Amino acid sequence: MSQSANPTAVIAFIEQGEIRQQVKSAVNSDTEFKIVAELDSTENAAQQVYAAAPDIIIVDHQIADQPSLDLVDELALKYPDIPIVALLDGDDADRPQQYLMAGIRTYMIKPFTQASLLSTLRRIRVLEARRKAALPVAQNGEPVETGPLQILTVYSPRGGVGCSTIATNLAVALYNQLDVRVLLMEGKMTFGHLGLMLNFRPQNTIADLIPHAGSLDKGLVEEVVSQHASGIQVLLSSPDLNVGQGIRPNDLYSVIKAVSSAFDIIVIDAGSHLDDNTVTLMDAADRVLLIATPDLAALHDTSRFLQLTRPLGFPPEKVLTVLNRAGIKGGIKTREIEAGLHQPLFARIAEGDSNVIRSLNRGIPIVYGSSRSAVSKDIRALAEKLSAMHPVAVQQATVLAQLKRNGNKRPAHSQNHNSALKMLGR
């Protein structure tokens, strides 16, 4: 059945005026969409949404002279599966992140054109369809456990907590443990630091793939990525801020899908800025490594982000919380952190000493430059836990169990036995 036969239902929380008329005209001009309700008040908003049963919610930044942030909070909590598009003024650089943390799917900065609004609505529809299709469902209709690990996105809602350091060293540790093809990808399209941390200046960047986003193949990916001395492959963001700011979520998603066909594990440093691109990096990931530190502000932001994962449609097991700088003097204790977050920590990484800082400043991965430090040991332990989620490790564990059941004797099917031993390097 065609899209126009079942148009995407849109509800708009916008006051009477030019913006409402612009939104209404844009939506009514396209048979793919349909306005099912227009509201200029937040009163009984949740009930109005329930009655209208929309596919997309549009919310202006201000309704009845009041900011709409509380409205977004309420709707995102009650209707996590309905994407919210916020219409924001461009006079506050912090406002988009506040709304994203409240649970919107994306935002538009006013003034905007009708064409750009329709383009955004189409992209939301496509991304939502893609997200729902990617959710594994059991036969009884209940979501099943997240699949094996291939793409890992490292993120924190608070800057300066060590995302880039952990992503870099984790990629190296995973490469050493699994002996598979590992790509370290810079997810921060501006102000990335992975090149500094690796003392690495490759000629090609992700910007070289973006023009070919619609037709990427493994050969082109291989030409653009660069091999680091540690053995991992690296894909950095462009040093040109204008180029980085021009990269859009759809193109970024196409790049991720292309590199996923060429590498066994992809570790993405998503940094701390929450925008459409960051959400795309997390959407595409099998696991999100959420980095926190033992201070009140970082834990407040971490807790807030965990609440946001429900509107984003992430299953609970997809987000793994890691405490960095554990044991730092004056820091909040682990048991208090777990009680505050209402979940156990996946891993802890110790506070670094002067040797760790020296390794960072020299552009040498900590797992090499300070291999005996507590930080290195904790990162390797984290890599080991993550390795167990990778298909290679799962397959090896199955083969080892089979060999153990047979007492390491030659089983009836000797060809299978030999193949198993070859896979395990024996």
CA 294 – CA 58 distance, rounded (Å): 37
User: DSSP letter string over 376-402?
Assistant: HHHHHHHHHHHHTTSHHHHHHHHHHHH
* 10-residue mean pLDDT series, the chain (426 residues): 72 94 94 94 93 96 91 91 91 83 88 90 82 57 61 96 96 94 96 93 94 89 95 96 89 92 96 90 94 95 88 86 95 94 95 85 91 94 93 57 51 40 40
Query: 299 near 332, Cβ under 8 Å?
Result: yes
In the 8-state DSSP scheme, what is residue 138?
Answer: -
In the 8-state DSSP scheme, what is residue 234?
Answer: E
Strand ranges for 33-95 from DSSP E: 33-39, 56-60, 62-63, 66-67, 84-89
CA 155 – CA 290 distance, rounded (Å): 5
Query: 105 near 80, Cβ under 8 Å?
Result: no
CA 36 – CA 49 distance, rounded (Å): 10
Q: Checking DSSP bridges between strand 33-39 and strand 8-13, what pairing results, if any?
A: parallel
CB environment 348-369: b (16+ within 10 A), e (fewer): bbbbbeebbeebbeeebbbbeb
Residues written for the chain: 426
For residue 401, the model assigns a pLDDT of 53
- For tokens 């219409």, what's the residue? 87
Across the chain, which distance is largest between two alpha carbons, in Å? 80
For residue 146, the model assigns a pLDDT of 54
CA 423 – CA 38 distance, rounded (Å): 61
In the 8-state DSSP scheme, what is residue 207?
Answer: G
CA 295 – CA 272 distance, rounded (Å): 16
For residue 356, the model assigns a pLDDT of 82
- Residue 238: exposure state from Cβ atoms within 10 A (0-12, 13-18, ≥19): buried
